Amino acid sequence: MRKTRSIGGHDRRPGFWVYGVLVAVILGSFFPIWWSFLIGSQDAAAINKNGMIFVPGGNFFANAATVIDSIPFWNALLNSIIVSSAVALSVVAFSTLAGYAFAKLKFRGREGLLVFVIATMAVPTQLGIVPLFIVMSRLGWTGSLWAVIAPGLVTAFGVFWMTQYLKDALPDELIEAVRMDGASMIRSFWHVGLPAARPAAAMLALFAFIGTWTNFFWPFIVLDPGNPTLPVALQQLQAAYYVDYSLVLSGVVLSIIPLIALFVVLGKQLVAGIMQGAVKG
Amino acid sequence: MTAATEVDARAIRRISFNHRLSHWDVKLSPYLYISPFFIVFALIGLFPLAYTAWVSLHDWNLIGGQGDFVGLENFQTVLAQPYFWISLRNTFSIFLLSAVPQVIAAIAIAAVLDFNLRGKTFWRMGVLLPYVVAPVAVALIFNDLFGDKYGVINQLLNTVGIESIRWHVDVIPSHFAIATMVNFRWTGYNALIFLAAMQAVPRDYYEAAIIDGAGRWRTFWSLTVPLMRPTIIFVIITSTIGGLQIFDEPRMFDQYGQGGASRQWQTLTLYIYELGWNQRNFGRASAVSWLLFLIIVLIAALNFYISRRISATSDKAIKVRPIKARGIS
């Protein structure tokens, strides 16, 4: 048997121009991040004097210290961690449960409800901010992290994602076997459904975490300046120091370090997640 | 004897009780498992959208709360505001400047990534890197790059003899700069989606194309792209829904956040924010929210309709798509 990939030139090692294009693309995605460090490590005088800057200056830590003094940085970092983790956890829990039901259990109205879930993925819920704000003020939640966590608790995408995954990943026979042994529905979910869902659940958690971490619009509206998440704190930094870009960009560097670190460790999983989702979605 | 029958009866009763319990367990559990999603989504997704319509029909102040019922007055007022139309124009302009080049670039990058590369993971990760940078951070970085006076981009333009562009003053340049921020963050992400679609093309289709004498370029256009169509539609629709609600980048494009002195880059969501939280007029903010909602639904439906039409016609042409088993009716 011949390898299926062998015809069509798809297995030949590509020429240099391909790598040339790729290097250009990678530089394009890396340069702005590098630039924020380049400027963030200068002092105000240097960036106003020189036209072009090619090497990092020695001022990063001094800038960072100023940033940390002038915006509630640690508070914002902690808030971002809390909010993103809470949302990731809840999205995964509810999506796995619902996905398991949609993929593996039989019940009246299943098809219709699943179509409804898929349709809601296209609903721009962000446009409900005015009532959401009214509700949050009535509850007295404005300014608290609950106001940011609550709207993120479930996503239609998560339910769809887990449904698609569990359809293939979990054989019906396995559930039947556990049921025959007398396990209740929730026990069979716990012992068979959950373990099978783990890889997809981990990816979903990752995406929910990043999505919440980078979210700005709603936290900006509902949180107090004194108790922000990182993106909201960055906005304050810009408002305070718009003339001194070395300070602003050192704050940017501080704020993107956590997710860049996460990316270095889990970037491979992110790539796999996007590519899997694309084929199934 | 009597004792034994009593035990039996009790056992039977217990069994039937267990049986009934497990019957309800089977019946109700699925609904129990899906209910958290539906309950929370109803509370935080559907209810606010419906309630937006209610608020839009009232005088409603951020501080003072609900006022008189005013019918469609908020809509009339808003539609008579020049800023509404400017925002609408800006929203579409920024959306087109980001969506079109982004989809094209993403497909091109995906095609390059589809080669049999050394170090696949490295290239794929490199392309995805911008995705983990928050839009607010992206905006601050590009604000500096697009600086009107000392920005790198203008300096580069100057060295090749082009005069500085007033990115933060003129309409189209500001849209271009904001679209660049969006593209920076999402092109790689979409490229990976397209790459997955390309790799899902069965390799023996390529074999057949080669035997038919098609070159690489022709194969790409007549085989790969048509087979990727569902994915392309998916990306276009999701980027439409997201792109028309763009807020972060234009909000951060200057320190005032109002979309420029003459609202050169004010988008509709930015306008909603201004109406609701600066002018404290929740009624009008809701009216604009509803209008934007309708626009998005309309455009998404239009997208869907057009792409269905296109795919219907070209399906007849290529006839290679595996057809799902379906009853004849």
Give tens-digit pLDDT for A105-159. 999 999 999 999 988 887 887 789 999 999 999 999 999 999 999 999 999 999 9
Distances in Å between the Cα of B251 and the Cα atoms of A36, A125, A215, A249, B201 are 19, 19, 13, 17, 41
Distance CA A47, CA A43 (A): 7
**Which of A71, A126, A141 should one mutate to test binding to chain B, selecting the residue with the greatest count of B CBs within 10 A?**
A126
In chain A, residues with a C-beta closer than 8 Å to the C-beta of B40 are: 94, 153-154
pLDDT(A281) > 90: no
Residue A234, pLDDT score: 95
A130: nearest CB among B55, B147, B206: B55
Residue B302, pLDDT score: 86
**Which of A237, A244, A271 should one mutate to test binding to chain B, selecting the residue with the greatest count of B CBs within 10 A?**
A271
Q: B61: which strand partners?
A: B65, B281
pLDDT(B34) > 60: yes
Residue B317, pLDDT score: 47
Record: contact B37-A159, CB cut-off 8 A: yes
pLDDT(A2) > 60: no
Tell me the nearest-neighbour CA distance from B207 into chain A, angstroms.
Answer: 6
Give tens-digit pLDDT for A194-220. 999 999 999 999 999 999 999 999 999
Give the mean pLDDT of A41-59. Answer: 77
Task: Read off φ and ψ for residue B102, nearest 5 degrees.
Answer: -65, -45
- DSSP H or E run through B66: strand B65-69
Record: contact A35-B300, CB cut-off 8 A: no
Q: B281: which strand partners?
A: B61
- pLDDT level of residue A45 (50, 70, 90 thresholds): confident
Record: contact B247-A132, CB cut-off 8 A: no
Q: Determine contact, residues A87/A235, Cβ cutoff 8 Å.
A: no
In chain A, residues with a C-beta closer than 8 Å to the C-beta of B38 are: 113
Rounded to two decimals, the ipTM of the complex is: 0.91
Place of tokens 């002018």: B279
pLDDT(B269) > 50: yes
In chain B, residues with a C-beta closer than 8 Å to the C-beta of A8 are: 203, 206-207, 209-210, 219
**DSSP-assigned states of every residue in B67-134:** EEE-TTHHHHHHHT-HHHHHHHHHHHHHHHHHHHHHHHHHHHHHHHHTS--TTHHHHHHHHHGGGGS-
Give the mean pLDDT of A69-93. Answer: 96
Distance CA A138, CA B89 (A): 35
Place of tokens 């023996």: B204
A213: nearest CB among B127, B134, B290: B134
pLDDT(B324) > 60: no
Residue B3, pLDDT score: 55
Residue B80, pLDDT score: 96
- DSSP H or E run through A218: helix A217-222
Give the mean pLDDT of B55-62. Answer: 91
* pTM reported for the whole predicted model: 0.89
Record: contact B286-A130, CB cut-off 8 A: yes
Alpha helices in A41-155 (DSSP H): 44-49, 60-70, 73-104, 110-120, 129-139, 145-149
